[in-house]
Amino acid sequence: MSLRNIGHRLYQGEVSFDFVGKRKIWYSISGVIVLVAAIGLAMGLHLGIEFKGGSVYTVHKPGLTVSQAQDAANKITNSTTPLVQSTDKGDVRIQVSAENSIEASTFTTELSKDLGVPQDQISAQVIGPSWGDEISKKALLGLVIFMVLVTVYLAIAFEWRMALAALVALIHDLLITIGVYALVGFEVTPGTVIGFLTILGYSLYDTVVVFDTVKENTRGLTKQSKLTYSEAANHGLNQTLVRSINTTVVALLPVAALLFIGGGLLGAGTLNDISLALFIGLAAGAYSSICVATPLLAQLKEMQPDMKALAKKVALRRASDAKAAAEAAERGDVPDGEEFEDDELPAGMVGQRNQPVSRSRAKGRPSGKR
């Protein structure tokens, strides 16, 4: 069966995955992942010199390997702290933290001798710790402002419960991405911050698409007695499921190429900072919009008095229908199959119409043949 057919059947409600009903499972999985990420954060992030200060030396020499530059940098600093990476232009980039307290001119001279490179082929850039501290504060301030504006917008466009669920999913994605960075030991650079801001937008986009469908499906929900809010929300989630998967896969493919081919296979280490943030963030954003945001929204909505009353009304109707079906079975009647009237269901929901297998009132009638 093709993905297109599966998507059509999900949209029509012919098949359905109960994401909302199994929210405790998703909460448990998210809790474990966030806990591991928190442990990584407790171990500390590997901040780049843009945040803690230091010097950056870019060496242009054809054929120079990362290991050769690493050995030379370790010899000059008498430690293994220098970070050496290859750039996408074929140069070698050496980062020395401010803790080594080596003058840039001295390091350049020694590096020129050890590698046999003219000094004019080595560019040096010194970054003070005060500049990095200022950048960190501005990045944090920008993140807080972004979250506040997003929460206000979602509360106005939808409602505060949707805004809260989206914000929780957003924090969930951030914690996981930052935790993975801490665990794998990748350096946090300004490119990483750009990656974080990018995944925030993507995570919200996916969540808003799902919420918009849920809002459409639950409009006028209390006027019927066939579906609870959780069931209607789950149907809306299934309607957008294939779209979310397709969007995520298409977004992950080029990012995976940057991370695994550019950063891993080709050795362009400077691509790792932004590509890892995008890869983990995109995957976490797709997961949270399906398994965290929508189930949490349904849980919050089910706490409302009108939704509680709706759940009781649905339960009573189903009990009545089950009792009627049991009595009909005892009498030997064959049910015609339940039919849902479209005007009894919320907008966007399609009733299931099953054709009757047989009708008892047709027994004994002439066939029409002579």
Query: What is the per-residue DSSP string for 314-369?
Result: HHHHHHHHHHHHHHHHHHTPPP---B--GGGS-TT----BPPPS--GGGTT---S-
Q: Which fold has domain 3-47+131-306?
A: Multidrug efflux transporter AcrB transmembrane fold (1.20.1640)
Question: Percentage of the chain surpassing pLDDT 70?
Answer: 81
pLDDT at 16: 74
Return the domain boundaries, the chain. 3-47+131-306, 54-127
Look at residue 352 in the predicted model and tell me its pLDDT: 47
What was the pLDDT predicted at 106? 85
**What integer pLDDT is reported at residue 45 of this predicted model?**
79
Q: Quote the mean pLDDT of the chain.
A: 79
Q: Which residues contact 147 (CB under 8 A, 6 or more apart)?
A: 167, 170
pLDDT value of residue 119: 85
Domain range 54-127, its CATH number among 3.40.109, 3.40.50, 3.30.70, 2.30.30: 3.30.70
What does pTM read for this prediction?
0.72
Residue ranges, the chain, pLDDT below 70: 1-15, 88, 99-101, 129-132, 262-271, 333-370
**pLDDT at position 206:** 83
